[in-house]
Chain A
Amino acid sequence: MGDIFGNLWDGAVYALSLWNLLAIVIGYIIGIIAGAIPGVMAVTAMVLILPYTFTLEPLFAISLLMGIYKGGAYAGSITATLFNIPGTPEAAATALDSYPMFKQGMQKRSLEIALWASLFGGTVSNLLLVFTAPPLAEVALLLGPPEIAALILFSLTAVITLLGDSRMDIWKGFISITMGLMLATVGLDNMSASRRYVFGIEDLDNGVPFVLTIIALLALSEVFIQAEKVGGFTLGSAAEAVKKIIPYTWKQRWLDLKLCLKDLIRSSLVGSLLGALPGIGATTAAFVCYGEARRSAKKNARFGNGDPRGIAAPEAGNNAVAASSLIPLITLGIPGSVAAAVMYGAFMIQGMIPGPMLMMEHPEIIYGLFVLLIVTDFMGAFVVALPFISVVQKIFKNLNYSLFFPGVVVCCVVGVYAEEFNVFNLRIFLALGFVGYIMRKMGMSIPPFILAFILGPILERNTRTALLLSNDSPMIFVQSPIALVLLILAVAALGWSLWRKTHGGKSVLDVPEEFKH
């Protein structure tokens, strides 16, 4: 333990230069802008920046990328709160409560809760990375294909809490999940490359692109819904939508912290654990944390209607993924997420292979990185994010919806096109936007669709790999104790939620009609 502190001190001495701190701030600004624009992901920004890091100092380059990564992880919540348009998919869960809270005039409160929760989750995850990376990496290694498959199934049950309350709503939710899973199977199958559900259209061979689907369903369909309200040539301004703005007092801050503390801690730990597993990602973590917060809440909770815990839990969870997704990279040399792969590339460009050897040969670099990670969260929050949200709020007061929403559509289209430079994708984008619009109109929930779409391929791949390992015997899912426990938990969670929903008497989760998407 003393060793770690010694190393951290050396790392701090090595890493904390004015230039590196500047890199963090620049990176965080880029990340926050990329993250806040629907259609542009922080990872896209990282990939674009990566080539330019070739001539930079190693830690300057890495600070810059970390700043983008962290800034992007937080920024999705800003547009989620103000417009119900999550800038990143992982902020979709946040929108469920932050948008309703904003509509009640508490925009400062919801933006700040998201920011402090991000800081909290990020910091917990940073500390876990510093102090428990090796054991966490071992845990992650223990989870093989059958366990990952079971874990994904369990994660999918988190959406049950998002389904709404009446039997009708629950059925709609299941249709939504099924549609998401089905859409995920389109294209060349990942294991044997057979073509599935492409109807002879070669453009569909690569499947329906991930980013495109998320933006279409989250952003474009929301714009359609809003366009309805703005319609009739009444150029309503945003400020009119919110009648009065309620200030956020210190007392209220303290009460919110007390209320959310348990969820903050749980979500940070869950997010960190999910982040350490390869390929699961921040969106899943956010939804699982949201689901857990809602499941464990008492009856008087106002989830879906602006409950602070509904903002704190997913934000802490999705930001906790950022640092812990670097755990497999640093301890084993295996990049577990797209962002980690970009970091891998950055290390490579600097002539270093991340992994246990780098830790042994150049501890000052790894510990310097740890120090920078910890600093990034605080500097990002206080130096960049806090001024940024106050500026955003000022702009927002004078914002004209009829100009803003077309702007969103432009950003989305540019983002979708820039992903693969394929015009066909724009057609799918538009079509899915309408699908999302119809789904919302029919009261079908969008988040279950998205979660199923993200998790479907991972579930399929791991299930099939597990069956290969067991020579097609499904017993492999029962023989592994971890998988068995997760499967039992999944069934129990499903059964319990459904029972609570259908037999709970008066509705526990009071969701007003207009927030059902």
Chain B
Amino acid sequence: MKKLMAVLTCCLALALVAVPALAKDYPAKPITAYIPLSAGGTTDVFVRTIAPYMEKFLGKSLILVNKPGSGGAVAISTLAKAKPDGYTFSWANLPTLVTIPQMRKLTYDPKDLVYIASPMHYDYILYVKKDSPYNSLKELIDFARKNPGKATYGTPGLGTTNHLGVAWLANHEKVKMTPIPFKGNPKSVAAVLGGHVVACNTSTTASVSAFKGGRLKPLVIMSANRIPLTPDTKTLKELGYDFSQFSCLGAVFPKGTPEPIRKKIEDAIKFALSQPDVQKKAKEELYVSIDFLDGKKYRELCDQYWGIWGGILKEVGLKKY
């Protein structure tokens, strides 16, 4: 027993010594960061914009790895298995932490993860093709009412808020619309352009090019506020629905990552966001809303939306866990 105590004490002492030492030297090598959605989407572009400033702050490079699939769950399940040594973190879109765990059994529990911070939230627009016969949300809903299931809409994956937002709408209007999951927003936009789906609910950036090129018609802003890209398009709330689609981007570490390391990345994110360059780029080129939440607030918000999105999941019959 004495021996065991001695060993334990030594371990504890080592741990106490090791953590600050680790944090002080951290990062000693490049850090891998997963991006949960495919290249060319808002998440990808935003992360690639702030990454250089984070690298500047950290003094080491970030290896950005796109791991799309399953609305982002592939990236987080990979992350959950990574060593909690601070050298692997993942950007996480809200669904991977809030909605997907309520829909299917996963290899990770989002409540175990270490929440680093959230740099921004997304804006969403429901588009149809430019020459589509539907000129307003009402006309699209009417079409869906007359042709159950024929109103298809592209999403970047089942259980993404893009999917759930429209699902809520369809459920609220008591019409049947069919969600079609694609591998990321750009492919969902391409499917609308090609006429393979009727509409798509996409985050802003992925649609900027096609919209400005005059190939898309916005019907409604799904998120809370009007956006500079389509200043005349009304939000769901303005159209009389008591609902808006919320999702943010954050970063998470695997369970057991030491606090000083978390703080360091949080600071790196904060540092990157404070750059006038980043702010200008976010607003004028990427069309996302910078909205910094520290680890604690980020976690609280996720807990809060666990309930809100969970309720919608239940309404649309996707809640399993």
**A residues neighboring B (CB under 8 Å):** 47, 51, 54, 141-145, 188, 190-195, 202-203, 205-206, 278, 328, 332-335, 338, 341-342, 344-345, 348-349, 351, 353-358, 421, 461, 465, 468-469, 471
A199 → B minimal CB distance (Å): 14
Interface segment, B3-11, B175-183, B298-306?
B175-183
> From B205, which residue of chain A is reached at the shortest CB distance?
A353
Q: How far apart are B213's CB and chain A's nearest CB, in angstroms?
A: 3
Find out whether the CB atom of B45 lies under 8 angstroms from the CB atom of A348: yes
In contact, A357 and B209 (Cβ under 8 angstroms): yes
Cβ A202 vs Cβ B81 within 8 A: yes
Q: Are A357 and B67 in contact (CB under 8 A)?
A: no
Cα A195 to Cα B158 with chains together (Å): 16
Per-residue CB contact flags for chain B residues 24-50 toward chain A (1 = under 8 Å, else 0) read 000000001000001110001100110
Answer whether residue B290 sits at the interface, using C-beta atoms and an 8 A cutoff. no
CB-defined A-B contacts under 8 Å, sample of 10: A51-B51, A202-B81, A278-B190, A332-B209, A334-B186, A335-B186, A353-B205, A355-B209, A356-B213, A357-B208
Query: In the complex, which of the residues A54, A349, A353, A469 has the most CB atoms of chain B within 10 Å of its own CB atom?
Result: A353
Chain B interface residues toward A at CB < 8 A: 32, 38-40, 44-45, 48-49, 51-52, 55, 61-62, 64, 66-67, 69-71, 73-74, 77-78, 81, 100, 104, 106-107, 149, 152, 158, 178, 180-183, 186-187, 189-191, 193-197, 205, 208-210, 212-213, 215, 281, 285
CA distance A471 to B180 in the complex (A): 11
Assembly CA distance A233 to B107 (angstroms): 49
Shortest CB–CB separation between residue B230 and chain A, in angstroms? 15
Name the A residues within 8 Å of B208 (CB-CB). Answer: 333, 353, 355, 357
Say yes or no: B190 contacts A328, CB within 8 Å: yes
- List, in ascending order, chain B residues with CB within 8 A of A328's CB: 190
**CB of B143, distance to nearest CB on chain A (Å):** 16
Q: Are B40 and A357 touching (Cβ within 8 A)?
A: no
C-alpha gap A43/B104 in the complex (Å): 34
Among the listed A188, A334, A342, A469, which residue makes an inter-chain contact with B152, where contact means beta carbons less than 8 Å apart?
A469
Taking A51-B55, A193-B71, A471-B178 as given, write out 17 further A-B residue pairs in contact, using a Cβ cutoff of 8 Å, ordered by the A residue number: A141-B190, A188-B70, A190-B69, A193-B100, A203-B81, A206-B67, A332-B213, A333-B213, A334-B187, A338-B39, A341-B44, A341-B66, A342-B39, A349-B48, A358-B209, A465-B182, A468-B181
How long is the Cα–Cα vector from A332 to B194 in the complex, in angstroms?
11
Closest to A341 in B: B39
Please name all residues of chain A whose beta carbon is closer than 8 Å to the beta carbon of B187 when the two chains form the complex: 278, 334
Interface centre among A54, A345, A349 (most CB of B within 10 A): A345
CA of A56 to CA of B64 in the docked complex: distance in angstroms? 19
Q: Are A332 and B49 in contact (CB under 8 A)?
A: no
Chain B residues whose CB sits within 8 angstroms of the CB of A342 once the complex forms: 39
Q: Give every chain B residue within 8 A of A358 (Cβ-Cβ).
A: 209
Given contacts A353-B208, A356-B212, contact A468 B285 (CB under 8 A): no
Q: What residues of A have a CB within 8 angstroms of the CB of B210 in the complex?
A: 332-334, 355-356
B249 to chain A, nearest CB (A): 16
Q: Do A333 and B48 touch (CB < 8 A)?
A: no
Q: For the complex, what is the distance from the CA of A356 to the CA of B214, rounded to whole Å? A: 9
The total of interchain contacts (Cβ-Cβ below 8 angstroms) comes to 138
Inter-chain contact A144/B213, CB cutoff 8 Å: no
Bound complex: CA A141 to CA B215 (Å):
12
Contact check, B178 vs A468: say whether CB atoms are below 8 A apart. Answer: yes
- From B67, B100, B213, residue with most partner A Cβ within 10 Å: B213
Residues of A contacting B55 with CB < 8 Å? 51
B residues in contact with A205, CB < 8 Å: 74, 77-78, 107
B39 touches A344 (CB 8 A): yes
Interface pair B104/A193, CB less than 8 Å apart: yes
Tell which of B67, B158, B190, B194 touches A191, judged by Cβ atoms closer than 8 Å: B158
- Cα–Cα, bound, A356→B213 (Å): 6
Q: Which residues of B contact A206 (CB under 8 A)?
A: 67, 74, 77-78
Per CB-CB distance, the 9 closest pairs between chain A and chain B, nearest first, are A355-B209, A333-B209, A341-B39, A356-B213, A144-B196, A193-B70, A141-B194, A335-B40, A334-B186
- Shortest Cβ distance from A480 into B: residue: B196
In the assembled complex, which residues on chain B have CB atoms less than 8 Å from the CB atom of A465?
Answer: 180-182
Instruction: Report yes or no: A193 in contact with B74, Cβ–Cβ below 8 A.
Output: yes
Whether B61 and A356, one on each chain, are in contact in the complex, defined by CB atoms closer than 8 angstroms, is no
Assembled-state Cα–Cα distance A66/B51 (Å): 22
Measured in the bound complex, the distance between the Cα atoms of B279 and A440 in whole Å is 57
CA distance A348 to B43 in the complex (A): 13
| Complex: A338 Cα to B66 Cα, angstroms | 10
With A328-B190, A332-B193, A334-B190 known as contacts, the answer to whether A190 contacts B70 (CB < 8 A) is yes
Q: Which residues of B contact A190 (CB under 8 A)?
A: 69-70, 183
- Complex contacts, A341 vs chain B, CB 8 Å: 38-40, 44, 66
Report if A193-B40 is in contact (Cβ < 8 Å); known contacts: A335-B186, A351-B281, A356-B209: no
Task: Give the most central of A193, A341, A354: most B CB within 10 Å.
Answer: A193
A205 vs B69: C-alpha distance in the bound complex, in angstroms?
Answer: 12
In the complex, the answer to whether B78 meets A334 with C-beta atoms within 8 Å is no
| The one of A54, A202, A348, A355 that contacts B107, using a Cβ cutoff of 8 Å | A202
Chain B neighbourhood of A355, CB < 8 A: 208-210, 212-213
Cβ of B184 to closest chain A Cβ, rounded Å: 10
B81 A344 Cβ-Cβ under 8 A: no
Q: How far is the CA of A195 from the CA of B49 in the complex (A)?
A: 34
| Distance, CA A142 to CA B178, complexed state (A) | 20
How far, in angstroms, from A342 to B35 measured CA to CA in the complex? 14
Decide if B73 touches A471 in the complex (CB within 8 Å): no
Q: A54-B52, A465-B181 are in contact. Are A141 and B285 (CB under 8 A)?
A: no
B contact residues around A354 at 8 Å (CB)? 209
In Å, the complex CA distance between A335 and B183 comes to: 12
- Closest residue to B277 on the A side, CB-wise? A351
Q: How far is the CA of A143 from the CA of B67 in the complex (A)?
A: 25
A461 touches which one: B104, B107, B183, B213 (CB < 8 A)? Answer: B183
Q: Which residues of B contact A344 (CB under 8 A)?
A: 39-40, 45
Please give the distance in Å from A130's CB to the nearest CB on chain B.
Answer: 19
Contacts A51-B55, A193-B70, A469-B152 given; does A353 touch B78 at CB 8 Å: no
Q: Which residue of B lies closest to A195 (CB)?
A: B107
- Chain A residues lying within 8 Å of B178, measured Cβ to Cβ, are 468-469, 471
Distance in Å: Cβ of A470 to nearest Cβ of chain B: 10
Tell me the bound Cα distance from A5 to B178 in angstroms.
46
CB-CB under 8 A from B70, the residues of chain A are 188, 190-193
- Within the complex, what minimum Cβ distance (angstroms) separates B207 from chain A? 9
CB distance from A56 to the nearest CB of B (A): 12
Q: Distance in Å from the Cβ of A401 to the closest Cβ of chain B?
A: 35
With beta carbons under 8 angstroms apart, the residue of A332, A351, A356, A421 that contacts B285 is A351
Interface centre among B73, B181, B281 (most CB of A within 10 A): B181
* Contact flag A191-B74 (CB < 8 Å), given A144-B196, A145-B196: no
Most buried by A among B61, B66, B69, B197: B69
Given A341-B66, A345-B39, A355-B213, check contact A144 B191 (CB 8 Å). yes
| B-side contacts of A468, CB under 8 Å | 178, 180-181
Whole-angstrom CA separation of A54 from B51 in the bound complex: 11
Q: How far is the CB of B68 from chain A (nearest CB, A)?
A: 9
Q: Given the complex of chains A and B, what is the CA–CA distance between A354 and B152 in angstroms? A: 28
Chain A contacts for B152, CB-based, 8 A? 469
Of chain A, the residue at the smallest CB distance from B193 is A141
When A144-B196, A356-B212 are in contact, do A193 and B181 touch as well, CB less than 8 Å?
no
In the complex, what distance in Å separates the CA atom of A188 from the CA atom of B62? 26
A33→B212 CA distance, assembly (Å): 40
